[in-house]
Chain A
C-alpha cells in the first residue's frame, strides 16, 4: 500500500471541504480549532498501471493549512502526526505532499524520530522530489520547442536553484538537455557557488537580472506575496514552469507572450477513483496529480519500498532516469501545453 499526505491549499478551502463532507462543526471552527485537529484518513482507492498491476493507496489529510506556517510548533505537529498515522496504518511508502516535505526539511524534523510510542522509519517516506524534478525537466524539454524556443540556444533560469528540486533540475539541464546557458537564482550565495562548481558552469544572477534574459524560467521556490514581475521586460516568447508550492505564478504574469505551465504535475492514463485532487484544484482531478504523489505510486508499483527521495541535494541523474522510465511505463505523462490553443493539455509522455 502507498500513502499520500496532503493538505488543503488554504484555510477557506479546508472549511469548504469540511462542509462538503458534512462536518459542520469543523467547517464553522476558527483556525485555533483546526490547530488541534488530528490527521485524518480521508479515502482509500486503487490505481491500475498501464502494465496491468493494481495497487492500493490511502490519502491522509494532515489538517495543516498554509495559515499555520507562522506557528512552527503546530506545523511541525501536523507533519509528524500525519507521518505517524501513515506508519501506524502499515503503509509501505508515503509521499509528503504540498508543504509537508518543505516543513520537514526546513524545520529539520529528521532530528525528531520518536513520535509518542512510534519510532518513525524514514524509509517508509519519500519527498517525491526526484519524480517532480524529472517531470519539470520533461515539461521544459517538451514544451519549449512548441513555443519556438530552441533549447540548444536558450537561456534557462532556475529560481530556487540550490534547493532539492532546483539543483536536480540544474543537473539534468546541464548534463542531459544541452541548454545554451543556465541562470542560477537563489538566496544563499555559498550554495550557489557550490552548485556552479558542481555543474561546471552556469551564471549566478539575481532574480531581477535573470528574468529579462531567460527564454525559460523554472520556478521551484515559493514566491513572496509581494513579488511583482514586469511582463514587458520578459523575453518573447517565454516559457515559465511554475514548480513551486503553492502554484500562484499565473496570477503574477499576464502576457500573451508568456506561457505559464503548472510544473511538477502529471496526468495518469486512466481515471482514479478518488476525490482528493478536486481539493487540490486540478483541471482534471480524476487524472491529474502532483508528481511527488505519483512517485509514491511508482515506488509501490515497482516494489521499491525505500525513501527514494530524501534530504537535500541527493537527487542523482540515475535516480531521475530510473523514476522517469517507471513514470512512462506505468502510464503517467507530464502536463504540457497544446500549441494550438495554448491551454494546458497533457502530452504523450
Chain B
C-alpha cells in the first residue's frame, strides 16, 4: 500500500551504495588481525569437529571427512587473505574467543551427544559464519571478496548436512536441540558482542550480523521441524545481550 508522501522525514532517496573501508590503515589492520584469526580458527575447529563427529556417526565418516577437507581449504583461503593485507592473525585471541563453545562441543562429544554436537557446529557456527561472510563480502577487499564468495557457496552445503541429519531424527532429537540451543545461544550472542567493535571497523554492523545470523539459524530450525512459535522462543536469547 504505497502512497506518495508529503512527510519529508519519510521521503527522499538515501544512499545504499556501500562505501569501502580503507584497508591500509592501522585501525583496519588491527581489527582485521582479530577478525581474520576468528575466521581461521573457526574453519580449523570446523575441520576438527567434523572429523570428531565422524567417530559418533561412523557410517557417515567419509562424508564428514570430505566436509572437514573443505573447511581446511577455506582456512587456507582466509590465511591468504590476511597475508594479502600483511596482517598477522591474532590466534591467541581467536582460541579464547571460541573457548566456551569449543568446550561445550568437546563435552558433548565425550558424552556421545551427536545432537548437541550438530547443533553447535552444523547449525550455530555455520549460521554465524554464513551471516558474517554475507555481511563481509560487500565491504571486503577485492582479494578477500573473491575467496569469501567461494566459501559461502560451500558453507551452504554443510549447513544442509546438519539440517538433514537432525530433520531425519527430529522426534528423538527435539528435546536435546532445545537444551543445546538454551545452553549455547547466549554464548553465540556474547561472541557477537565481543566481535562487534572490530567488525564495525570493517564496516560490518552488529545489528545486521545478528539479524543475518538469526535468519540462517531460524531457517535451519524450521526446516528441521520446529514451528514458527518455537523459532521465536528459541532465538530470543540471541537478541538479548
Contacts and interface: CB of A to CB of B under 8 A. Distances in A.
B2 A164 contact: yes
Contacts of A186: 4, 6
B173 to A, nearest CB: 22
A255 interface: no
Size category of the binding interface on chain A: 35 or more
A162 interface: yes
A152 interface: no
Interface string B133-167: 01000000000000000001000100000000000
B211 A163 contact: no
Contacts of B176: none
Interface string B202-229: 0001111011101100110010000011
Contact of A98 (B1, B235, B236): B1
Interface in B107-141: 134
A346 to B, nearest CB: 19
A25 B2 contact: no
B2 A105 contact: yes
A24 B26 CA distance: 43
A107 B4 contact: no
A245 B239 contact: no
A162 B229 contact: no
Interface string A119-153: 00000000111001000000000000000000000
Interface stretch (A32-40, A299-307, A322-330, A337-345): A32-40
Contacts, number: 149
B187 to A, nearest CB: 17
A222 B5 CA distance: 5
A222 B10 contact: yes
Contacts of A22: 233
A117 B14 contact: no
B207 A245 contact: no
Interface of B: 1-14, 16, 134, 152, 156, 205-208, 210-212, 214-215, 218-219, 222, 228-229, 231-233, 235-237, 239-240
Given A32-B207, A76-B16, 8 more contacts: A25-B237, A33-B240, A36-B211, A37-B214, A70-B9, A88-B219, A165-B1, A245-B3
